[in-house]
Structure 1
Amino acid sequence: MSIPTKEAILQWIADNPAQTSKRDIAKAFGVKGQARIDLKRLLREMQDEGYLTKRKRSYDDPNRLPPVSILKLAGTDADGDLFLRPADWRGDEPEPRILYIPQEDDPAFGPEDRLLMRLTEVTGEDHSHQARLIRRIGTGPRRAIGVFRASAEGGRLMPVDKGADREWIIGAGDTGGARDGELVEAEIGKGRTRMGLPRAKVVTRLGDPGAAKAVSLIAIHQHGLRDHFPEEVIAEAEAAAPPELGDRTDLRHLPLITIDPSDARDRDDAVFAEPEGDGHAIWVAIADVAAYVSPGSALDREARERGNSTYFPDRVVPMLPDALSGDLCSLHEGVDRACIAVRMTFDAEGNRTGQTFYRGLMHSAASFHYQEVQAAVDGTPNDRTAPHLDVLRALYAAYDALKRARARRAPLDLDLPERRIELSEEGQVTSVAFRDRLNAHRLIEEFMIAANVAAAEELEKRRTPLIYRVHEEPAEDKLDALRETAKASGFSLPKGQVTRPAMLNRLLHAAEGTDLAELISMSTLRAMAQAYYSPVNLGHFGLALRSYAHFTSPIRRYSDLIVHRALITAHGWGPNPDADGLSEWDLEHLEATATLISEAERRSMVAERDTNDRYLAAFLADQIGAQFTGRISGVQSFGAFVRLDETGADALIPVRSLGAEYFRYDRDEQTLTGTETRTEISLGQRVTVRLAEAAPVTGGLIVELLEIEGERRRPAAPPTRKRKLRKGPKKRRR
């Protein structure tokens, strides 16, 4: 019988602090007989090496850290130094502060990573120990969000993940006082019960899962979003003062305006255009967040951890506290605001001919929303837009030139409808519709792209490090899947050519105006690689651009704040550009920051999507039995997905609901074919379905198939068993 390794014993002690005697360890690892002597020898050896401290027949001391300990991340200080804390501190003295001493080949750490570290005690510092990494030994206890169902023995945790069928047993002493039907956060334990189910322990009660605010709350907890600011972060934000002109360029004479959605929560970009020669000059002014968020400050550390703001129909989880995001850094109408602005010049064909960046002070002349701007330019101005018609017309004239340049560049022409979920004051869904896509939207989008490119190229010219927005070309297997979808839909995508956006545009344009346009657009989107942040420039495939960086939204994206700091450093703006430019720590950790904010962006995207799914399920929950039209948007071995026309919601037709016959799944052709009726379900088919289930807690929708391409679905009759006739008397066994 083998005995456990030193690392395994340390992991056990960290996970089970109350069971650290030799007997407990032997029982945990099933050590019996002669092997117990070997285990005793190993424990003594670990004690001599300083791994363990023996105390009353138990190998731990709650007030002393052994030279080798399991630690977790605690955060960074104002200088950017990383601090650690014990994975499980049980002492009655204050938790020790431990400084991490990184080595050249050490990996990046996650917030729940458990780190085996060698410690050295120090004196005369603001920390008690210094730590060097031995190895990363896994993550901490996993947590799950679910609905608590009480029982005589404690209860069960029912998952909120769509499609999940796992449950967890919660012991009577682990319910945390949760009531039946409450939404809870639980820590997943090790080991299983007699019924084979894993164990869990309630750590947070989140309230009624049917409450309006619970929908986004589930996503916030499920995806680990930081929805509360530490007190020191709020204090720093509230101590910020309104800007003064000082060394800034005075831009208050420019009639800069903001154009945003009608429900915008912040305004971080303002625009202005005017004729210049045969072309145009375009100003894009962006909130100067770097003036308020200094490198290494509590605000900066929190913003970096969050990475970006996350937007839900009922709330926003902001990157910065409201004192900044909703006030001093928001370009409100009629007030002075600090900004970083770029003046770009373009010829008559929309080619950029020059650019100049400024750190300035601006004064927004007006704040509009997209619909009223479009209406004004189309000939129906209102009282607010009428005085600014000349400014709006100049913006649209400049946009016309940029459109011509965009057509020559031929970026990926994906123009997918954006779903809008309307809520009542009580947080209930009142309607689901698709946002209109106006030229006013496209104008702002094109101006922001131009400013982002100008920022990237300016920093390249000045040889200043930055974080790029990277979008690599699609992988070959993803393109093959798109070719199969195109073929099944009656279109084609050539093979053997260099992959360029223009090639995909030909497919999109071929489908445009047909019933399959949305399917081809969604399939093309699925084929794309995930965009991410990187200090290495690999170009942007979708936009067909060589250099691209995010510059235009520093209120809600940390990537843009880094680009702003780079511009401050590159230009030497202000009396002390080192105070709010790129710090040494920023430069040393540029790659780690890019990875961190890329991961944060993906978390936010999934959280926003899951929340929208739950709101849609809640909206449809009282329409069980209603019929809807839609189109097959995906096919898997377990069933087919339907995108409903009215709401854009995705619903599942389980293969088990299709009748008694067997359905054969063809991965290449993306079809399900019935062996009896020869019914074929494939991508793009028009269907009519009946809503069978809607689960707001998970966001799942289950539908039954009624019609395919206008023909009534006729399930195969269930097979009948034929009785075998005996030909003679049954022989008796002997």
Structure 2
Amino acid sequence: MTQLPSKDQIRQWIAENPGLTSKRDIAKAFGLKGDMRSELRRLLQELEAEGTVTKAARRFRPKGDLPPVALLRVLKPDAAGDLFAEPMEDGVDTDVGRILIIPKKGDPALAEGDRLLGRLTRVDLDDYVWEARLIRRIGSNPLKLLGVFRKGSEGGRIVPIDKGQDKEWRVAADSDMGARDGELVEAEAVGNRRLGLPQARIVERLGDPSGPRAVSLIAIHQHGIPDQFPDAAIAEADTPRPVTMDHREDLRDLMLVTIDPADARDRDDAVLALPDTEPGNPGGHVLWVAIADVAHYVRPGGALDREARRRGNSTYFPDRVVPMLPDVLSGDLCSLHEHVDRPCLAVRMRIDAQGHKLSHRFLRGLMRSKGSLEYVQVQRAVDGEPDEKTAPLLETVLKPLYAAYASLKLARGLRQPLELDLPERQIVLSDEGKVLSVAFKERVDAHRLIEEFMVLANVAAAEDLQRLKQPFLYRVHEEPSPDKLDALREVAEASGFTLAKGQVLKTAHLNRLLAQAQDSEFDELMNISTLRSMTQAYYNAENLGHFGLALRNYAHFTSPIRRYSDLIVHRALVRGLKAGDDGLSAWDIENLDETAKLISDAERRSMAAERDTVDRYLAAYLSDRVGSTFSGRVSGVQRFGLFVKLDETGADGLVPIRSVGREFFHYDQNSQTLMGADTGLTIGLGQRVTVRLAEAVPVTGGLMLELLEIEDRALPGGRSGPRGKPPRRGAAKAEIKRRVVRRRK
């Protein structure tokens, strides 16, 4: 049985492991489980009471010590011009010794009073005890804004383009960079606001804001997405290492092919399926998944690596892509183009006839794609309409892939991952960047085939790295919170459906709910509501499982050209397999938690930028149809109004509550409804509505709608009359329940 450590042992561990000092870290280090963890808590409380350790942000450290990362305030430079700092965090002693700031090339200039997040190292020299290296400056960077410049007699003003911003900024004549009236500009706040409008100065002119090509450019600047590669990164990309057969197997004879969208900008995965000829596995298959070997070109700690980590991922817009890697790599050397040799990291997997993985093996190889194919092209070939390119591959490559996919579908059916049905919008642009049409992408079995192959390869990567005892990043998706589940249950009940309660939630329960709604008028509503109840997936060095995929072990392995997380997994495999000197570095391992946070934040940044860009393109597309009527469904209910998703384009617009009649509307958060005080009109999620487009603003992406009909009935009482009193609290919820009972009868 594991023994409880002594106080001296705990003190020594905390002193020697400043980055691993949470209670969980300490318990793991000493192998403590169950009740022993309660005893550890008691010992730590005693040490804290004795004053020998201090606790801050759930971590312990020796009294008078500093954490490895701390919030600091810059002090006045000394006579030699050196900058020192003092700690600002609660619970941190201020008499821990002098902290010298060690600048590195590229760091911003610091001044007295600036706040920064610094990485600390104890040095115990005569003049100072600590050295601090800048991670980032906090609160001292000027506020950045993007807007349209309106020229005046003495300078001008900036009208922000952000939908959530209505505050204008004043620009002095000597701070406008010669910007013209109506031009899109980037600016930063200056001075202290006293009276009137806040002040700003223009730092970059971006051209015509109404131009089609400005749409994604606005999102890039607004969300701070890096879109210029440093010279050092470009130079490194332009001088790639030669590919040799060291640590590699020759896979060039394998009939690997890539299958991608028609507009694919990179090709980082190739697949192959063969019948399994080994005895004891009748009807089984051998699957190959080969992925571009980005780790060969992007080595740890280099300029390319630093920039890729900063970007986190590629960001995709309808008219352009902001890649994680320079085009010479993402579009050429790393991309698995047909009939050319490419380095790869591959996995060979055996599955049985029911789609269960029996074994797998990872290797580094050299491959040659036998064809760059498209989803619809492959599907047509399998459905009996092969073209010149797919006909020679039909029997030997494509049909075996679909046979393996049929087995994988059986395993998927047993596993029951979340089966959301949310069509993806596709914006079609002209050569000039104008929106020609908005449609929903067609999904065929070729899409699903590739998805299942990739999921299986990702699982294999996580399992192999666990076996090899290598640190890496998991793709984590935690189960929904109780509050979000309760909200989903309210929507389900209001629509006449049920969601099981009082048991451990599984994706199968949510799938049953979605099946109830399938092909009903509430189909889309339940899919959207279920999606909204989900937590957001992220990256973590700790394995917390993937709820949505119903998988315990999951990592991203299959897209290293466009995701830094996958590059980390590749390096971990190279290190674990001893397949080269470009595996996971000591620095990578030490900073894994920070990397996980950085790339998770970058992913959210890209998603927001992509979503805003689509909104702006849709607003531009609809701007010529102001005054037209559209059908749609209520997709969101808030105190200030309704969000309506239009059937034709999938665009979301706002119906302000002030425009819905003249009565008072009570908002019930639990049932997500608005209820009129005078008429009893209840507006809730999923209701069919007819709206008039009142305003479309391409610069912000905003759509303003006017409500005309609900469930094919005109609004009662029209849009005039006195406002009534608020209904009693809970009345809207009761009305919803009455409607549900009537529907069920």
Question: How high is the TM-score relative to the length of structure 1?
Answer: 0.81
The Cα offsets for residues 671-705 of structure 1, whole Å up to 9 and x where unpaired, read as 12222333222111111111110011110001111
Structure 2 distance, partners of 1:461, 1:526, is: 35
1:691 aligns with 2:689: no
Matched, 1:452 2:470: no
**Equivalent residue letter for 2:690:** T
Q: C-alpha offsets along residues 492-513 of structure 1, whole Å, 9 cap, x if unaligned?
A: 2122111111111111111111
Shift of 1:622: 0.6
Mapping 1:449-488, distance limit 5 Å = 449-488=455-494
Q: Residue 218 in 1 paired to residue 206 in 2? A: no
Residue of structure 2 aligned with 1:356, choices 358, 361, 386? 361
CA contact (8 A) 2:259 2:372 kept: yes
Deviation digits for residues 143-164 of structure 1 (CA, Å, limit 9, x no counterpart): 1111111222322221211243
**What is the CA distance between 1:256 and its match in structure 2?**
0.3
Native 8 Å contact 1:102 1:133 kept in 2: no
Give 1:102's match in structure 2, choosing from 116, 120, 124: 120
| 2:217 aligned counterpart, secondary structure | helix
Structure 1 residue 169: deviation in Å? 2.2
Paired residues for 1:470-619 under 5 Å: 470-573=476-579, 577-578=580-581, 580-619=582-621
The structural deviation recorded for 1:586 is: 0.6
* Structure 1 position 419 matched with structure 2 position 425: yes
2:378 is aligned to: 373
Percentage of matched positions with identical amino acids: 61
**TM-superposition CA deviations, 1:525-576 (whole Å, max 9, x none):** 1110110001100100000101000000000000000100111111111xxx
Q: Deviations over 1:470-496 (max 9, x none)?
A: 001111111111111112222121221
Shift of 1:662: 2.0
Tell whether the 8 Å contact from 1:641 to 1:653 is kept in structure 2 after alignment.
yes
Structure 1 residue 67: Cα displacement: 3.8
Match of 1:43 in 2: none
Ranges in structure 2 where 5+ consecutive residues have no aligned partner: 1-73, 88-101, 724-745
SS of 2:295's partner is helix
SS at match of 1:186: strand
Measured in 2, the distance between the counterparts of 1:247 and 1:463 equals 20
Structure 2 CA distance for partners of 1:517 and 1:672, relative to 1, 3 Å:
same
Distance in structure 2 (CA, Å) of the matches to 1:586 and 1:370: 36
Change (3 A) 1:295 1:132: closer
After TM superposition, the structure 1 = structure 2 runs for residues 124-143 of structure 1, keeping only pairs within 5 Å, are 131=132, 138-143=139-144
Letter in 2 for 1:261: P
1:328 aligns with 2:333: yes
- Note closer, same or farther for the CA distance 1:134–1:291 as it changes in structure 2 (3 Å cut): closer
**Aligned counterpart, 2:58:** none
RMSD (Å), alpha carbons: 2.7
SS at match of 1:102: strand
Structure 1 residues 136 and 334: CA distance shift in structure 2, 3 A: closer
For residues 601 and 104 of structure 2, what CA distance do their matches in structure 1 show?
A: 21
Preserved contact between residue 77 and residue 84 of structure 2 (Cα < 8 Å)? no
Aligned to 2:269: 269
> Once the 2 structures are TM-superposed, how far is the Cα of residue 232 of structure 1 from its aligned partner?
1.2
Q: Which residue of 1 aligns with 2:389?
A: 384
Counterpart selection for 1:674 from 676, 681, 689: 676
Residues 51 and 599 of structure 1: CA distance in aligned 2, closer, same or farther (over 3 Å): closer
1-structure distance, mates of 2:347, 2:136: 47
Equivalent pair of 2:691/2:705 in contact (CA under 8 Å): yes
Is 1:83 aligned with 2:84?
A: no
Within-5 A mapping of 1:597-676: 597-676=599-678
Counterpart for residue 209 of structure 2: 209
TM-score, normalised relative to structure 2: 0.80
State how 1:138-287 maps to structure 2 within 5 Å. Answer: 138-189=139-190, 191-195=192-196, 197-240=197-240, 243-276=243-276, 277-278=281-282, 279-287=284-292
Q: Which amino acid aligns with 2:540?
A: S
Do 2:663 and 2:722's aligned partners in 1 also have CA atoms closer than 8 Å? no
Aligned to 1:339: 344
TM-superposed CA distance for 1:204, in Å, is 1.4
- Distance verdict in 2 for CA 1:720–1:520, change over 3 Å: closer
* Deviating more after overlay: 612-621 vs 160-169: 160-169
Checking the alignment, whether the CA contact within 8 Å between 1:469 and 1:550 is kept in structure 2 is yes
SS in 1 for 2:690: strand
Residue 307 of structure 1 aligns to which amino acid in structure 2?
A: G
Change (3 A) 1:166 1:334: same
User: Given that residues 348 and 401 in structure 1 are in contact (C-alpha distance below 8 angstroms), is that contact kept between their aligned partners in structure 2?
Assistant: yes
Cα distance in 2 for partners of 1:218, 1:409 equals 42
Give the Cα separation in 2 of the matches to 1:150 and 1:717.
39
Give the drift of 1:402: 0.5
| Structure 1 residue 288 corresponds to structure 2 residue 293 | yes
Q: Residue in 2 aligned with 1:95?
A: none
Q: Does the 8 Å CA contact 2:157/2:168 hold for their aligned counterparts? A: yes
Q: 1:290 to 1:649 in 2, by over 3 A?
A: same
**Separation in 2, partners of 1:86, 1:300:** 18
**Does the 8 Å CA contact 2:154/2:172 hold for their aligned counterparts?**
yes
3-state SS in 2 of match to 1:353? strand
SS in 2 for 1:192: coil
Query: For the structure 1 residues 421 and 351, does the alpha-carbon distance in structure 2 shift closer, same or farther, using more than 3 Å as the test?
Result: same
What whole-Å deviation, never above 9, does each CA across 1:28-57 have from its counterpart, x for those lacking one?
Answer: xxxxxxxxxxxxxxxxxxxxxx94469xxx
Identify if the C-alpha distance between structure 1 residues 407 and 239 changes in structure 2 by more than 3 Å, giving closer, same or farther.
same
Q: Aligned with 1:371: secondary structure?
A: helix
1:183–1:207 Cα contact (<8 Å) kept:
yes
Letter in 1 for 2:212: A
Aligned length, in residue pairs: 626
Contact 1:67 1:120 in 2 (8 A): no
Given that 1:143 and 1:186 are in contact with CA atoms closer than 8 Å, whether structure 2 keeps it comes out as yes
